Structure 1
Amino acid sequence: MRRVVEKFINNAVVRIMPAAVLAVAAMAGIWHLSRSDSQHGTTLPLEVWEDATPQATTTPAQATEKLVAIEERASVETHLSTNTFWFGGHALAPVKSAGWRLELPSRHAVNLSCWDRTNGQSLGSVDRDHPADGIIDTVRGGFALAFDGTQREADFICRSDFRGPAKISAQVWTAPALARAQDGFRRTALTLEVGLGVLALSIALTAAINGSGMYWAFVGWMFISLRMALLSEGSDGQLFGLVLPAEVLTPMRQWTVFLYMISTANVFSMLFRKELISVGSGWMLKMHKLLSLALLPLCVLLSYEQMLPIVWVCSAALIALWVPYMYVFLSRLRSRHGIWYALSLIVTLAGSLSEVLAASLGHRALLAGLNSVTAAIASALLATAAVAEHMRADRMEREQAQRTLKAAYDDSPIGLFTVRDGEHIVRANPAFKAMLELPENIEGLRLADAFGDDVVGEFLMLHALAAPASLDLQARPLALRSLRPQVAVEDSDCWFAIKASTADGRVFEGSLQDITERVRATSRLEFLVNHDPLTDCLNLRGLSRKFERSQRPPKTLAYFDLDRFKLINDLYGHAAGDAVLKQACERIRSQMGPRDLLARVGGDEFVVAFPYASIAEASQRCENICALIAAAPFQIEQHRFTLSISGGLVAAESLGDASALKEIVSSADTLCRMAKKRPTQRLVVMEGGDTFFKHHKEELALIDCLERGETPTGLFLMMQPELSINAPYESLNFEVLLRMRKPNGELIPAQVIIEAAEAHGKTAIIDRWVVATTIAWIEAHAPRLTRTQFIGVNLSGSSLNDESFVEELFKLFEYHKDAVARICIEITETVALTDMLHMQRFIARARDLGVKVALDDFGAGYSSFGYLKGLSVDALKLDGSLVRDAASNPAGMAILSALGGLVRSLGMKSIGEYAENLPALRALVAAGVDYAQGYAISRPVMPERILAASSAVDFIEDADVLAFVKQLQTGDQASLPLQNEQRTAPGLAPASLLH
C-alpha cells in the first residue's frame, strides 16, 4: 500500500500536476484570445471600382460617376491586384452615439485618402510611413475615419492601394467600442509575441544545450509562426516594437509567407526523417531541399502578388503529400511525436477553416473561439510537445545504443582498452585480455607492463599536451612474467597495431589488433617496391629512401651503362639478357665496399653510391668495375658475350651541400653519356671547379622549366645565310638557329638546350616556340623579304612523333598560309627513316599547305638511294662530312658529284653544309650543288642583319671567296626555287601569331 501511495504521489508531482497546470494555462489563454475578438462593428455595404488606368489620375468626381453604376457589397476581394481601388458608401452614426468611427480594416491597405461626396471636401489621407492627416487614423491593422456626435451621417468616397490578398470592407463603430477593440487588438499582439516568444526561447535554450540543428530549425519555425500569426491578425506592422516602413512591410510579409512554408516543410522532414527513410521515402527529404532551392530565387525575383499563388499551390501540394504519410506514421509506425505533430497540423487547419466558415456565415468566430491566432499558439504548443517527444525518443535511442555498444565492446574481436593519466589501463574487453594473455582482473595494470618504452612514451607525450590528439603505431608486446610465468622471457614475434585517441589528454580510448601477418607482408612488399625484382639491387626509389633516412647525400656517386647490351636482347632474347644483367651485378658488387650501395635504374643502367668514399677511392673502384666487366666474357649456356661498360663519377660536394640525390644522379648520367661518346675513355670523372658543372646546372634549370611545360626565358633566334650557287646576288635564303641568353648576358650553347629537351621528351615546347616566333618575324617583315624563297627551320624527331604537337603545328600553318609559304621544314635523315609511312604523310600534308620540306644531314646515317623514291621532299641537305671529304680527296669529290647529279635527276634541290672555306665552296660548285651554307659565306647573324642585306653575298668577308662568287654570277641564270615559287615572292600580309 505504501508503494502504491508513493508511486501515485510521484506521478502526480512529475506528470499530473504539470499537465493540469499546462491545460488550465492553455485554456485560459485561448479563452482570453477569443474574448479579445468578441466585439465587432456594423458592416457597411460599399460600392467598389478598380481603377486600371496606367497613372491612376482619376479625380474623386470621376470616380463618383463610376461608383454610381456599381452595386453595393459587404466586401470585395482585390485578387492580388496592385491597381488603385475607389470605394464609397453612405454611413449612418450609431444611435445615441457621442462619437462614432468608420473602420476600413484591411491590413493589406498601403494608403488611404477620403473625400466628402456631397461637397468634394477632403477628409484626410494617411499611409504606413506618415502620420494621419484630417480625420483618418490608423486603427488595428487598417484605418478608420473619426466623426463627432454632431455629424449623424457621412457620404464618402475613398481611394486606396493594396498589396497582397486584400479584402475591401467597412464597419461602423461607436468610438468607445472601437477603442476597446483596439485595446484587445494590442493585447492579442502582445500575447502572441510573449507566448510564442517564450516557447521559442525555451526551445532555443534546449538547442543551445543539446547542440541540435533540428531544435534550432524549430526555433526559426516558431519565430516565423509568430510573424504569420501577427500577419493573420493584422498586427505585423511592428517588429519587437520597431515600426516597419511600407517599403519594408510588404517584402517582410512576402518572406514571412515563403519562409513559413519552407520552415514547416523542413521541420516536418527533420522530425520524420527516420520514419520517411523506414518507409522508403527518402526522396521526399531531397524534394523538400530542392523545393527550397527552387523557390528561393522566385521569392527574390517575383513580387508579393506573384509569389503568393505559387506558395499557396506548393502548400496545398505539401499538405496533400503529408496527409498520407502522417496516416502511415500514426497507424503503422505508431510514432508518438507524429501524433503530437499531427494534432498541431489539425489545429492549424481547423483554425484556418474556422475563420473561412465564420466569414462566409457572417459570424466572427466558430469552434469556441478557435481562429488563426488561437490556433497559432495551440499549434506551437503541440509542435513543442512533438519536439519534446522527439527528444525523449532520442534519449531512449541513446540509452539503447549504449547498451548495444556495451555488448559490442565485450564481444568485439578487436582488443579495446581505456588508459587513464597516460599509463594506467583501467578497462579492457575480453579480446584485449586474450591477445596479451592477461588475467580477468587487470586492476593496477600499466602500459609499461604490456608494451615497451616507445609505446608508453607516446601516451605520456599526448597526456602532457592535454589537448585532443590521437596516435597510431605498431608495437611488439613484452613478456609479462609476473602475469604469465609460463611464458619465456624473450620477446614475442607478434606485432600489434595500437590506435588511441583522447579528447582531454587524460583518458585514452584505444584498440589493439594482431597485425603480425600484415607486417610480414608489408616488409616483403616494401622490399619489392624498393628493389629491382630481377637482380635484387635497389631501385632508384629505394636508393632515394636510403639517403632520405640518413638526411645526407652520398659523398660520391657513379652512373654506369652497359654498352651494346640491346644487341644481346635482339640476338638471343630477353632471357639471355636477364642472365647477363645478373652476372654484371655480381661483378659490380665484387668491387664495392661494405657500405656502398648498388641500384639498377634502367634496363642496362646502374648507379653505385659511395656514402663515405673520397673521389679518389671511388674512382679506383669504378675503374676496377669497368675493367672487370670487360675482362672476361659472360657465359650463358653455349653462348659467350663480351661487353664493356661506360660510367660517370661525380663528387656530390662539387654540386653544393644542398644538392638533392636527383641532381647528383642526373650529373653522373650526363658524365656517363659523355663517356659513351669517347671511344677510349670508359669512365669520366668530374670534381669541383669543372666547367661541366656550370653547364650541367644550366641544363637542370632548363629541365625544371620544361617539366613545368613552360618556355624557357632568354630564347632568341639567329640566322645563317645560304648562298645560291647559280645566282648568288639574287636570293637571300637562310636557316633559323636557336640560341639562349642568360639574365647576365652570357650565352648558353644551343647543344645544351637541345640535349636537355631531347633527354626529357620536351622538344615540342622548344620547337613550338621556334616555329611560332619565325612565323611572327616573317609576317612582321614580309615587305623586306622579297628575295627570300625559303627559310630553314629544324624540327626534332620526338616533336614530329608527338601527335598533339603535329596537329597544333598544322593549325598554325593553316592560319598563317602566306608566311609559311617561305618556311622549309628540315627533318633529319635518320628520323625520316624510322617510320617512313608516318613521315611521308607528314610531308604530303605540309606540302599541301605550301610548306617546303628538306631532308637534313643526308649521308650521315644509313643512306640509301632507294628510300628517296618514297619521300617526296623538296631538297636534300648534304651532311658536312661529305663536303669536307670532297674538298680533301678525289674519292670524296666523286661521291659528292654523284649525289649532286642524283638530286638534280630526282627534281630536288641540294644544299651543302659546312662550306667552311674556298676549297669546300669550289667542290660544291663543281659537284653541281645548288646552295652552300657555312662559315665561308657567313657565321650565324642576328635577324636585323638579314633585313639590312640584299643577298647572301653581302655577308661574305673573305676576299678570295667573294671574288670566286662574283665569277659565279654570269648570264641571266637565277637561283632556282625549291618548289614552284617565283624569283620575287609576293608581299605577306601580317597576321597575329596568337591565333
Structure 2
Amino acid sequence: MRDAVENFLNTAAARILPAAVLVIAGLAFFWHLRQPVQDRGIPLALTVWEQTSSIARDLPFIAERLSEQPSRASVETRLSTHPFWLATKAKAPPEGGNWAVEFPSRHAMDLQCWDRHDGRLLGQVDRDSDNGGALKATRGGFALNVAAGTEVVDLICRSTFRGPAKLTAQVWGAAALNAAEDQFQRIGSMIEVGLGVLAMSMALIATINRSRLYWAFVGWLFVSMRMALLSDGSDFLLFGMPLPAALLTPMRQWTVCTYFVLTVTVFGLLFRQEMIDIGARWLLRLQQVSCVLMLLLCATLSFEQVLPVLWIGSALLFAITLPQIYRTLRRPHSRPALWYASSIVVALVATLNEVVAAAIGQQALMRGLNSVTAAIATALLASAAVAEHMRTDRRQREQAQRTMKAAYDDSPIGLFTVRDGETIVNANPAFKTMLGLSASSEALPLACVFGDEVVGEFLMLNAMAAPAALDLQARPLNGGANGRDEGGERWFAIKASTIDGRIFEGSLQDITERVRATSRLEFLVNHDPLTECLNLRGLSRKFERAQQPPKTLAYFDLDRFKLINDLYGHGAGDAVLKQVCERIRSQLGAADLLARVGGDEFVVAFPHASIAEASQRCQNICALIASAPFQIDTQRFALSISGGLVATDGFGDAELKEIVSAADTLCRMAKKRPSERLVVMDGGDAFFKHHKNELELIGCLERGETPEGLFLMMQPELSLNAPLDSLNFEVLLRMRKPSGELVPAQIIIEAAEAHAKTAIIDHWVVSTTIAWLEAHASQLRKTQFVGVNLSGSSLNDEAFVEDLFRLFEYHRDAVSRLCIEITETVALTDMVHMQRFIDRARDLGVKVALDDFGAGYSSFGYLKGLSVDALKLDGSLVRDAASNPASMAILAALGGLVRSLGMKSIGEYAENLPVLKALVAAGVDYAQGYAISRPVMPERILEADSAADFITDPEIAAFVRKLQARDPHTIPLFSERADAALTGMLH
C-alpha cells in the first residue's frame, strides 16, 4: 500500500500536476487575450509644478507658479519624492450624467484637489483612508467624481509619488469608469488565480521532489504574480487584504529586487550543467555575486535609489547572459533553454509593445498583449521550461535505473535485498553463484544461507527501525560455491544498510584470499619469517592475552656470528640460524616459547619453569650450540652462545620489554666473561640497582638529553723522562645521582653504546673539558696534553664529527692541549676514514693517540698508515712486565718502535714500583696507574705542580726524583740477576 501511494504521488508530481497547471494557466492566458481592449478616457492637458522646498505656500502663489508652466499631456516625476502641483480644466463628456476626472497613476500615494476660482477643497484621499469628499481611489490611481449638470471644473491638485510615476488626467463618464473598474478587478483576480494556482501546484511538486529548483521556481511564480499586479496597478491588495501605505513601497521595492534575484537563481539552477558544458561557469559565479549585491543594495537604499541600479544591472546582466543562452540553444537536447528563451522574448515583445504604443499615442499595437498577458505568458513558458527539465530529469533517472539494473545483474559483486531482516527477496546472479544457489531461487530465508550470527545482526537492526549499517565477515552454511575445497573454507564480506530497518540493501564479496593473506600477514607480523619462531611483538602478545608474564626469561646472543655472514655470505648465515633454532627448540618444554629478536639474538620464555629448571635448560642450550659445528654444504661452522636468565617475580608489574632488557643486560655481562657462558640473576639488590641505573640512562639518552649528574675526574700521567716538569692527565667520566649514589662509568658507556647514543656523552665530555681548560689555562702551564677518550660509534657519526670540529675551530687555544684517544680496534675498522679524522684534528693542533694498543689484533704494519702522536700500551702488556721476561721483551720492542716512528708511548696499569722501572727500562715515555695516583677531582689537579705531586709511596717518590736528576745508566731498575736476564733477551 505504501509503495502504491509513493508511486501515485511521483506520477502526479511528474505528469498529472504539471499538465493540469499548464491547462489552467493557459486558459487564464487565452481568456485575458480575448478580453476587449479597455476603453480610455478623454485625455486632459496639464500644467505641472514640482515643489522642491518644504516652505508652505498659499493657493494663489501655487496658481501663479502653475500659470508659468507649459501645458502638456503627461509629465514624468523621474523618481522624485517632492510634492507635485497640477492644474487642469475639464469639461463634461458628451453623453452627460455623472462624470469623473481620473488621475491614473499607481505610484501616487495621496491626492488633494481645490476649485481654482474660489479655493474650495473638493476632496482628499490617500492609500490608507478616504477622508471624504469627491475624491476616491479607483483602478490604480484616484478619481474626482463630478455631479451631473456641472459642465466645467477648473482644478488645482497636489500629489506625492513613490516610484517612476507618470502624471496624466482623463475625463470619464461614470458608467464607463465603473465598467473599466470592474474589468480592472477581474484582471487582477485572474492574475492572482492563474499564477497563484501555478505557484501552489509547483509547491506541491517541489515538496514531493525535494528539489531546490522547484522551490526557487515557486518563489519566482509568487513574485511574478506580484510583479504582474504591480504592472497592472492592482498590487494594493495581498490575497484580498489591503496593504497599508507604509508597507506598499517597501513591498514594491523588495518585489522588484526579489524578482531579479529569483529570476537569476532559477536560470542558474535550470542551466547550471549547460553553462558548465559550454565553459560559462564564470557566468554562474557572476550571477551569484549580482544576487548578493542586489539584496545588500535593496536593504540599504531607498526605492527610488534601487530602481536605477536594478534597471542598469538587469540590462547588463541580460546582455551578458543572452549570448550564452544562444550558445545553449544551438546545442542539441536544449528544450528547457528554448522554452526559457521564449519566455524572455515574450516579455521583451510585450514591453516593446507598450513602449512604442505609448510613444505614438496608441493604447496598444498588438491587441491583448501587454504587461499582464506577458507576465502570464512568461510564467507559462518558464513553467514549460521547468516541466521539460523535470521530464529530462525523469528520463535520466529512468535511464539510470535501467543502467543500474544492468549493472546490478552484471556486477561481479553479489548484491541482495533483505526484507524485515530475515528474507532475501532479491539477489543478482553473482550472489547466487557465490553461494551455490540456483538461478531461480527467490524469497530465500536468510537463515538458510548464513549462520545465526549474521541473522541476529539483521534482526537487531530491524528491531531498531532506524537508519543503520552493518559490516561483517562470515562463512556461509554450505561453504560457498566451492564448498570446503582444497583451499579451505570460503569467507565473505557482507555490507548492508537500511533507512528504516525494514529494507536492507547489501553486497557480498568473496574475501577468502584476503582473509588468508591477512592471516599470513598477521603471522609475519608476530613471527620471524626466516626461522618462523616468534618475534618480540608476537611474544609480547602471547603474554598480553594470558595477562601473566612468564616465570623466567632468557636472552641469548650468538658469539662471532657476524664472521659467518662476512666470510661466507648471508645465505650461509641464514642456514646456520635455522639450525640454531632447531637446537634451541630441542631443549625446550612444550609450553616454552622461542623468539628471534635480532640478527643473532634470541629470547626464550619459560611460562612455568623455576629459575633452577630454566637455568638447567639454558645451560643445555649453551652446551648444545657449542658441542658440534654447524654443517652447511661442505662448510663447518663452530659457534658458541652467551645468555642471561632472569626470574620475573622481582619485576612486579613491569612490561615484558623491561624484563627482556634486564636479560639482555645479563647477556652482555656473560659476553665479557669468556669462562661463563650464562649469567643468572641472583635476585639481589645489586643487579636491580645496576639495571635500574642503565634503564634510566637509556631513557634519558633516547630522548636526546644529556644525563644529569655527570662530572669529570682526572688521572695524572707521569713523564718518565722529566717527571717534575709536566702535569698531564686523562679525563675520566663519572656520574652522581641526586641521592649521592655514584654510577660506574662502565654502566654509562655500556648503555650509550648499546643504543648508539655515545655521541651525546662524548660531546658533553669534550665540551666540558674544553670549557674547564679555558677557565683554568693560567694554572695549567705545565700541561702539554689532556687525554680524552672518544668511542668508535661517535667517530662513525658524521653529524657528531662535524660538530666536534666546529667546537675545535671555535676553541683553538684550549684544544691545542687535547689528546684524543682512539681505541686501536676502532682505528683499524676503517683506516682511510680514521686517517682523514686524524689529519683534520692535527691541523687544528689536536693530538691523537691510539688507546689499548696491543689488546686487539695489533700489527706494526698499520702504524705506517696512521700518523698518530702517541700509543697507549694496553695494561695486559704492562702489568707483568717486571716479572715476565717475555712481556718485558715485547714492551722494550714496542718502546723502541714508537721512538723510531717519532711517537710518544704511554704505559697503562703502572700499579707499583717494579712496573715503573720496567717502563723506564723499555724506554716508555709516560706512565699511568695507581702507582702514581688514582683518579682525582679537577680541583686537585689545579693544586699540583706536576704529576709527581700525587705520588704517596715514599719509594716511588724517591725513584721519581732520581729520574728527574738521573743519568739513565746510573739508576738500577732490577736486581742484578733480573737485569742480566733482560740484557740477554734484548741482545
Same-fold call, TM cutoff 0.5:
yes
Separation in 1 of the partners of 2:281 and 2:660?
60
- Whether the 8 Å contact between 1:879 and 1:912 is mirrored in structure 2 is yes
Query: Relative to structure 2, which stretch is displaced further, 390-399 or 283-292?
Result: 283-292
1:959 partner SS: coil
- Asked if 1:762 corresponds to 2:757, the answer is yes
Name the CA shift for 1:450/1:553 in 2 (closer, same or farther; >3 Å). farther
- Mapping of 1:58-73 within 5 angstroms? none
- Equivalent residue number for residue 668 of structure 2: 673
Q: Percent identity over the alignment? A: 63
Displacement, 1:403? Answer: 3.7
- Asked if 1:515 corresponds to 2:487, the answer is no
- Asked if 1:95 corresponds to 2:67, the answer is yes
- Equivalent residue number for residue 584 of structure 2: 588
Displacement, 1:835? Answer: 0.8
- Whether the 8 Å contact between 2:21 and 2:198 is mirrored in structure 1 is no
Displacement, 1:622? Answer: 2.1
2:330 partner SS: helix
Note the alpha carbon deviations across 1:717-766, whole angstroms, 9 max, x for none: 31315346346566465525253635x45444333332233223233344
Amino acid paired to 1:959: T
- Mapping of 1:236-635 within 5 angstroms? 274-275=273-274, 279=277, 285=281, 326-339=325-338, 393-394=392-393, 396-438=395-437, 445-460=444-459, 469-479=468-478, 493-503=489-499, 507-524=503-520, 526-528=522-524, 530-570=526-566, 574-635=570-631
The unaligned stretches of length 5 or more in structure 2 are 1-11, 38-44, 51-63, 70-74, 81-106, 108-115, 117-155, 168-194, 225-243, 247-256, 293-299, 301-311, 967-987
- Equivalent residue number for residue 852 of structure 2: 857
Amino acid paired to 2:800: F
1:332 partner SS: coil
Kindly name which structure, 1 or 2, has the bigger radius of gyration based on alpha carbons.
Answer: 2
- Equivalent residue number for residue 739 of structure 1: 735
Separation in 2 of the partners of 1:968 and 1:104?
131
Displacement, 1:593? Answer: 1.7
Note the alpha carbon deviations across 1:362-395, whole angstroms, 9 max, x for none: xxxx999x999x9999999999987786666555
- Whether the 8 Å contact between 1:630 and 1:642 is mirrored in structure 2 is yes
Name the CA shift for 1:951/1:289 in 2 (closer, same or farther; >3 Å). farther
- Mapping of 1:826-845 within 5 angstroms? 826-845=821-840
- Whether the 8 Å contact between 2:717 and 2:947 is mirrored in structure 1 is no
Displacement, 1:692? Answer: 2.6
- Mapping of 1:898-909 within 5 angstroms? 898-909=893-904
Name the CA shift for 1:892/1:474 in 2 (closer, same or farther; >3 Å). same
Displacement, 1:837? Answer: 0.9
- Equivalent residue number for residue 975 of structure 1: none
Displacement, 1:663? Answer: 3.0
Name the CA shift for 1:456/1:636 in 2 (closer, same or farther; >3 Å). same
Name the CA shift for 1:290/1:462 in 2 (closer, same or farther; >3 Å). same
1:617 partner SS: helix
- Asked if 1:714 corresponds to 2:708, the answer is yes
Amino acid paired to 2:953: D
Separation in 2 of the partners of 1:673 and 1:17?
98
Give the aligned CA root-mean-square deviation in angstroms.
6.9
Separation in 1 of the partners of 2:841 and 2:421?
76
Displacement, 1:829? Answer: 1.9
- Equivalent residue number for residue 960 of structure 1: 953
Note the alpha carbon deviations across 1:795-844, whole angstroms, 9 max, x for none: 32222222333334434444555555554433222112111111122222
- Whether the 8 Å contact between 1:722 and 1:735 is mirrored in structure 2 is no
Displacement, 1:595? Answer: 2.6
Displacement, 1:673? Answer: 2.4
Separation in 2 of the partners of 1:622 and 1:419?
61
- Whether the 8 Å contact between 2:821 and 2:850 is mirrored in structure 1 is yes
Separation in 2 of the partners of 1:928 and 1:465?
93
Separation in 2 of the partners of 1:910 and 1:290?
89
- Whether the 8 Å contact between 2:454 and 2:474 is mirrored in structure 1 is yes
Displacement, 1:678? Answer: 1.9
Name the CA shift for 1:710/1:603 in 2 (closer, same or farther; >3 Å). closer
Name the CA shift for 1:292/1:768 in 2 (closer, same or farther; >3 Å). farther
Separation in 2 of the partners of 1:810 and 1:380?
87
2:953 partner SS: helix
Separation in 1 of the partners of 2:375 and 2:813?
82
Separation in 2 of the partners of 1:592 and 1:177?
115
Name the CA shift for 1:872/1:22 in 2 (closer, same or farther; >3 Å). farther
- Whether the 8 Å contact between 1:417 and 1:511 is mirrored in structure 2 is yes
Separation in 1 of the partners of 2:317 and 2:446?
60
Name the CA shift for 1:329/1:571 in 2 (closer, same or farther; >3 Å). same
Name the CA shift for 1:336/1:182 in 2 (closer, same or farther; >3 Å). closer
Name the CA shift for 1:866/1:498 in 2 (closer, same or farther; >3 Å). same
- Equivalent residue number for residue 14 of structure 1: 20
1:176 partner SS: strand
Note the alpha carbon deviations across 1:133-175, whole angstroms, 9 max, x for none: xxxxxxx9xxxxxxxx9xxxxxxxxxxxxxxxxxxxxxxxx99
Separation in 2 of the partners of 1:501 and 1:601?
45
Amino acid paired to 1:654: G
Displacement, 1:651? Answer: 2.7
Note the alpha carbon deviations across 1:509-553, whole angstroms, 9 max, x for none: 322223344444554555455444444433444444444544444
Separation in 1 of the partners of 2:814 and 2:366?
93
- Whether the 8 Å contact between 2:78 and 2:164 is mirrored in structure 1 is no
Displacement, 1:503? Answer: 4.8
Displacement, 1:850? Answer: 4.2
Query: Relative to structure 2, which stretch is displaced further, 863-872 or 764-773?
Result: 764-773
- Asked if 1:655 corresponds to 2:651, the answer is yes
Separation in 1 of the partners of 2:789 and 2:353?
92
- Equivalent residue number for residue 158 of structure 2: 176
Separation in 2 of the partners of 1:851 and 1:467?
80
- Whether the 8 Å contact between 2:910 and 2:927 is mirrored in structure 1 is no
- Equivalent residue number for residue 695 of structure 1: 690
- Whether the 8 Å contact between 2:644 and 2:663 is mirrored in structure 1 is yes
- Asked if 1:877 corresponds to 2:859, the answer is no
- Whether the 8 Å contact between 2:619 and 2:678 is mirrored in structure 1 is yes
Displacement, 1:477? Answer: 1.7
- Mapping of 1:885-964 within 5 angstroms? 885-886=880-881, 889=884, 891-916=886-911, 927-930=923-926, 932=928, 936-941=932-937, 945=939, 949-951=942-944, 953=946, 959-960=952-953, 963=957
- Mapping of 1:781-796 within 5 angstroms? 781=775, 787=781, 790-796=785-791
- Whether the 8 Å contact between 2:26 and 2:380 is mirrored in structure 1 is no
Note the alpha carbon deviations across 1:30-63, whole angstroms, 9 max, x for none: x9xxxxxxx999999xxxxxxxxxxxxxxxxxxx
